[in-house]
Structure 1
């Protein structure tokens, strides 16, 4: 399964946030803006991290915010948010985070496939730094494999 399309409205560069919760909420707003999720999805993503800890910080500097498929997911979607200043999620090895990916997927099977596909993108250890340093939506889209 290929990753969801990454339209211009699914990218936010240089977001200014106070903490990890606001970083995750920005990714939720970007998913909402791109038509993938309702406002409730951001709350679900925050709740998952509050309940399960900073498991979403999957690599140094990178968080993959997501929640289970449900009524708050309108369509498969991916959001890329780069942060003006890094924030800590409380992960022992991978903090601070400079890039937050928001993932909304309608079915559980597709959710696992999308996470695996994202892992492939980030096998390139330079990808996170490149995303964090990107200054245009086109740069972000190119790093993520275009769309």
Structure 2
């Protein structure tokens, strides 16, 4: 099973991205997935539809959203994108808005990403790790934080 840092490449991380609202924030993440050969434009639409239909439940911790969709037919391979926004946006989650950090997962099946999800939960539960992602100076520092989760 894939580790969290194995699903991310330097090209699938965008630091200090600009977004007007939650939709454009998810589009940034979706474009990273597309450029990495992981997702498709239809998968990006499915992630937004997920929020439209189920509300902002993807905002799972203060300032952190986990964008995803159940649409394996729209995914070429399992992968992940990370977006850190320059200015936070609101998703409509009273408890955890506004969001500055978004992880987007595209899974080709129902099992490849399980270990990565365990590590993501560890990340979300740790205020210090989230803070390190918020303040990483560059993509290499960001990747180092994700790789550190594998050793915990």
Query: Do both proteins adopt the same fold according to a TM-score greater than 0.5, normalized to the shorter chain?
Result: yes
CA deviation vs aligned residue, 1:84-122 (integer Å, no higher than 9, x gap)? 000010012100101011101111233454322311233
* Greater Cα shift, 126-135 or 66-75: 126-135
- Partner residue, 1:133: 135
CA-atom RMSD in angstroms: 1.7
Query: Counterpart of 1:144 in 2: which secondary structure?
Result: helix
Listed as ranges, the matches of 1:1-147 within 5 Å are 1=1, 2-3=3-4, 4-145=6-147
TM-score (norm 1): 0.92
Q: Is the 8 A contact 2:51 2:58 kept in 1?
A: yes
Q: Is the 8 A contact 1:69 1:107 kept in 2?
A: no
CA distance in 1, matches of 2:80, 2:44: 13
- Looking at secondary structure, tell me which structure has more helix per residue: 2
CA distance in 2, matches of 1:123, 1:9: 26
Q: Is the 8 A contact 2:64 2:99 kept in 1?
A: yes
CA deviation vs aligned residue, 1:35-73 (integer Å, no higher than 9, x gap)? 111111110000000000001101001000001142211
CA distance in 1, matches of 2:115, 2:51: 21
> Gaps spanning 5+ residues in structure 2: where?
none
Count of residue pairs the alignment pairs up: 147
CA distance in 1, matches of 2:122, 2:115: 11
Q: Is the 8 A contact 2:43 2:71 kept in 1?
A: no
